[in-house]
């Protein structure tokens, strides 16, 4: 189900499995030599943008862009969504997560990732929850071992 796939969930419904998203990508053409270690220069970047509108039944437009910044040490993820239904960005993680309104911090060991909602509708906040099926899910008898 879409809710368990570390992606956008629009209107608490599954994505269209017949979707045909489009993608465009580009990079600064930094190349790795024969070494297994790649250290890009500070101007090295890459990005991709995908139009995922066809994956959603209840959205007018869903686009996601990802760009690597600061010598590919930082990531900017940008979603542009036009939908009248609710939108959730759901991820599964083993990190310890703390949230405060439009900011979240994920920690694993000595590694930290800070996430911020930069521009969103009023009331958009980060929350945490258990990885459980949503109450809106239907029954799947073929998966029920007691049926």
pLDDT digits (tens, 9 = 90+) for 65-113: 999 998 888 889 899 999 988 888 888 889 999 999 999 999 999 999 9
123 in the same domain as 107: yes
Name the residue range of residue 1's domain: 1-29+41-91
**Does residue 137 form part of some domain?**
no
61 in the same domain as 24: yes
Pairing of strands 8-10, 87-89: antiparallel
124 in the same domain as 114: yes
Which residue do the tokens 């930290």 mark?
A: 112
**Does residue 141 form part of some domain?**
no
Task: Specify whether the CB–CB gap between 119 and 143 falls below 8 A.
Answer: no
**Which runs of E-coded beta strand occur in 70-102?**
74-82, 87-89, 96-100
Q: How confident is the model at residue 140 (pLDDT cuts 50, 70, 90)?
A: low
pLDDT of residue 59: 94
Q: Which two tokens stand for residue 28?
A: 């600064």
> What's this model's pTM, rounded to 2 decimal places?
0.76
Number of domains in the chain: 2
Backbone phi and psi for residue 54, each to the nearest 5 degrees, phi listed first: -65, -15
34-68 confidence digits (pLDDT tens):
889 888 888 899 999 999 999 999 999 999 999 99
């Amino acid at each position: 189900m879409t809710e368990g796939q570390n992606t956008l969930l629009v209107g608490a419904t599954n994505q269209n499995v017949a979707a045909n998203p489009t993608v465009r990508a580009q990079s600064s053409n930094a190349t790795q030599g024969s070494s297994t270690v790649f250290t890009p220069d500070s101007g090295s970047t890459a990005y991709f943008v995908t139009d995922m509108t066809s994956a959603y039944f209840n959205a007018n437009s869903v686009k996601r862009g990802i760009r690597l910044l600061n010598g590919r040490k930082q990531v900017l993820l940008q979603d542009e969504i036009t939908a009248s239904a609710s939108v959730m960005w759901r991820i599964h993680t083993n990190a310890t997560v703390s949230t405060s309104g439009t900011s979240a911090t994920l920690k694993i060991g000595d590694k930290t990732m800070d996430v911020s909602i930069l521009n969103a509708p009023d009331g958009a906040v980060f929350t945490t929850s258990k990885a459980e099926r949503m109450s809106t899910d239907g029954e799947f008898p073929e998966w029920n071992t007691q049926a």
